[in-house]
Amino acid sequence: MYTEPADEAELDRAPHEGGGFWRRTIHALHEHWRQAVHAAHLDRSADAGNGRLARARDWIVRRIAESIAEQRTLWSLRSVTSASFVYPADLTESSATTLRRRLLAEASRHHGRWLVLNLVGVAVTAVLVLLPGPNLIGYYFAFRVVGHFLSWRGARQALDHVSWRPSAEPILSELGGLAHLPREERADRVEALSAQLGLPCLAAFFDRMATPAC
């Protein structure tokens, strides 16, 4: 399941709309994060020339960015009661609905389980605050706690309280048929289909799902 929440566009417009202090601060943090992700992906092709700490930093940034991208659909469902559900046209509405419920139920179990495990990680690494310097391990577990909690909340909301408006989309059927092709063969067509759907970030998400990162 995938969506591109509107708050991404709102953040991009923030400095032009004369927002308050907090809005400008959030926008600045958002920009710093995007720059860090961009730099981490650029450095990926030149890892051999970077030190171990730099490679480890870039790997962590990439993993967090991928985690955010994969979970933001669930995060965006936490506070909604009605949503559109667009599915490939080669599926029937009933089979697509069954698949949607199965994916959400699996997400609820998965994130609930990892929420508990990462809470244990936060508790165990809390002793590291006694050491000098930032508690990077503790921050990592704290980030995962927040992410899994928001995802679990979104999955439960989507299962129990969201009213879905289903519609079939032929473009998604074609997109699914490209998943078995090598990335270089499908890239241009995936980009074109993403543009037709009005989802500029879909191509990157599709690549992660069709060819999971090592």
The CA distance from 50 to 55, in Å, is: 6
The CA distance from 84 to 165, in Å, is: 5
Mean pLDDT for the chain overall = 80
Q: How far is CA 159 from the centre of its chain?
A: 19
* 2 has a pLDDT exceeding 50: yes
Q: Higher model confidence: residue 85 or residue 124?
A: 85
The CA distance from 162 to 82, in Å, is: 5
Q: Higher model confidence: residue 99 or residue 35?
A: 99
Q: Which of 190, 107, 118 lies closest to 153 in space, CA to CA?
A: 107
Domain boundaries, the chain: 1-61, 62-210
Extract the tokens encoding 104: 């959400």
* 138 has a pLDDT exceeding 90: no
- Using pLDDT thresholds of 50, 70 and 90, give the confidence band for residue 49: low
- Using pLDDT thresholds of 50, 70 and 90, give the confidence band for residue 14: very low
Please state, in angstroms and as integers, the Cα–Cα distance from residue 149 to each residue in 8, 80, 122, 142, following that order.
21, 16, 14, 11
* 15 has a pLDDT exceeding 60: no
